[in-house]
Amino acid sequence: MFILYKYIVRNAPRREETKYGPSIVCLGNICRSPMAEAIFRDLVVKEGLEEKIVIDSAGTGDWHIGHPPHKGTKKILKENEVSFEGIKARQVEKEDLTKFDYIIAMDNKNIADLKSFGKTEGYIGRLSDFVPDGGWTDVPDPYFTGNFQEVYDLVTEGCAKLVAFIRNEQGI
């Protein structure tokens, strides 16, 4: 899957922009994807890449539009000193599929839902695609499991690999 992924990204149409970025997607945009947005942003800032890489998150559902992250997400991010300032839930829009270079889903259901929004110009895949030897496929939804620590650990691993991948692929 990872080799196929590299082929898809390398051959995806590019916009004439200097910033590259993923939009990270989950179901409601209050647990997993805002956590990933915050962690990814933190990594990008620590590496001094905020002028080259942008980040966003969204949900496939519309239940939580405008809401801040879930209290469990906020708690685990605070414990790890990761800012979630300014993050509010929003729903995926059709334009996102052409606006972002990478649409990164938390699970296979998210991918199926994303495909209903239309065709992308970049890549749609799972966060786990960046950790092929990680032993996990889907990031479990802590809204249902309550295990925010497990999700934090998986998302942190995936986001670190995603940042490295984007740096390598885009030469930044």
Q: Supply the residues annotated as catalytic.
A: 26, 32, 141
Pair 122, 9: CB distance under 8 Å: yes
Q: Which residues contact 100 (CB under 8 A, 6 or more apart)?
A: 21, 22, 23, 56, 122
Strands of the chain (E only): list them. Answer: 22-26, 56-59, 102-105, 123-126
Give the angle 81-145-92 at the CA atoms, nearest 5°: 70
DSSP per residue over 122-142, as a string? Answer: SEEEEGGGG-TTSS-SS---H
CA nearest 10: which of 98, 101, 95? 101
CA dihedral 124, 125, 126, 127 (to 10 degrees): -80
